[in-house]
Amino acid sequence: MVYRRIADEYILVPIRQQVADLNCIYTLNEIGALIWELIDGKSNIEQILKGITAVYDVEEEAAKDDLISFISQLLKIKAIDVANGQ
């Protein structure tokens, strides 16, 4: 995936060997973009959650539910992969 900020839009573009596989562009809101930036292959869910709650005024439990849902979506579209079972 390639991540780009264009004006006030945050997008993920799948890059694959076959052009026919390039059928989707994903847009992210500000929190989705922050999560994407915090996913570095080293940080676990709790560290990413701390990053979210440090920036946004949100209850930790609600943020955690949304984070897990978002990560599940990223896994589903193969934008990310599980590293070390985290």
Domain boundaries, the chain: 2-76
Q: Could you tell me the sign of the dihedral formed by the alpha carbons of 38, 44, 48, 54, in that order?
A: negative
The encoded tokens of residue 50 equal 């701390």
Integer Cα distance of 84 and 38 in angstroms: 16
Per-residue pLDDT reduced to its tens digit, 15-72: 765 554 556 788 999 999 999 999 988 899 999 999 999 999 999 999 999 999 999 9
Per-residue confidence band for 85, with pLDDT thresholds at 50, 70 and 90? low
Integer Cα distance of 83 and 47 in angstroms: 14
Per-residue confidence band for 77, with pLDDT thresholds at 50, 70 and 90? confident
Q: Which fold has domain 2-76?
A: Arc Repressor Mutant, subunit A (1.10.10)
